[in-house]
Amino acid sequence: MSESAVIATPAPAASGSIRMQYARAFAGLFLRDLHVLRREMFPFIVRVCMNPMLFLFVFTFIMPHMNGGASMNPTAAMGSSFGTVLLPGLMAVAIMFSGIAAVALPLAQEFGITREIDDRVMCPLPVAAVAIEKICFSAMQSVIAAIVVFPLAYYIPSTPVVAHVESWPYLVAVVLLASITAGALGLTIGTTVEPKQIGLIFGVVVMPITFLGCVYYPWRALAPIPWLQMGVLINPIVYMSEGLRSALTPTLPHMPHAMILGMLTFFLILLTWLGIRGFLRRVIG
């Protein structure tokens, strides 16, 4: 073996040392963000709970007690209480909003005039790994949000909520895929939209994809409107809602499991690629 070939070959010990350095830097960023979240845990829980709690209180507690009772159930034709339909949908909304808020809103500040992002990318990590850390941390917040919303959506409705988990591994897979996808969506939004326009995005993009994300109704219920049923398939929230619906309320109509997992994986890869590319462009370019 020539001398140049020996020099060009990286030493295994050096490669291991670099990987260990990257792992420690990644863990350091994650722990720093975790410390900030722990100090702001109460505002985080209030932000996660407020909208689902109000929605549940009005549509599943107040309305059933009005004159008309069961006739005011929006899903009576499906033979299920509205609370049963809402349980997985509101968990999906909590996952999505937490993922976007945990990435897009901080990026609006970090990419602002002060350029706080420059301090973060100075850590001994590839720039792309900094973006991945943001996705991972937002995914953790999304999982917490889903856990917090579950008891609200289960106990607030005045009519019994029927939830049954047939496969825990499938439920865990859906929650994790949905949470990471939400973080990747937040990264894509945060690196695409100018900081001063980030508030507008919630009204123009986030709210429409929420109401058209099969949160308040199963996807199969859109069958009388074929063009809309096909059109919403480009919305990643649809697969979050349908995935949780098939995992928690399998008696309700839902998409096939393989389609849900396949499309969540597709959107995860697509949004992660778009988000990292946008992050590199905003930081380096």
Domains of the chain, residue spans = 11-283
How many other C-beta atoms can be found within 10 angstroms of the C-beta atom of residue 128?
Answer: 15
Look up residue 16 and give its DSSP letter: H
Distance of CA 12 to the CA centre of its chain: 38
pTM: 0.85
Helix intervals (H) in 74-126:
82-110, 117-120
Among candidates 98, 100, 107, 106, which has minimal Cα distance to 46? 98
Residues 218 and 253 sit within 8 Å (Cβ to Cβ): yes
Chunked into runs of 10 residues, the chain (285 residues) has average pLDDT values of 44 70 82 83 81 78 63 52 84 89 82 71 82 91 90 81 88 95 92 78 80 89 92 94 93 90 96 92 79
Residue 109 buriedness (CB in 10 A; 0-12 / 13-18 / 19+): middle
Specify the pLDDT at position 238: 95
Angstrom distance (rounded) from CA 264 to CA 180: 10
Q: Record the tokens describing residue 83, joined without a space.
A: 């609370």
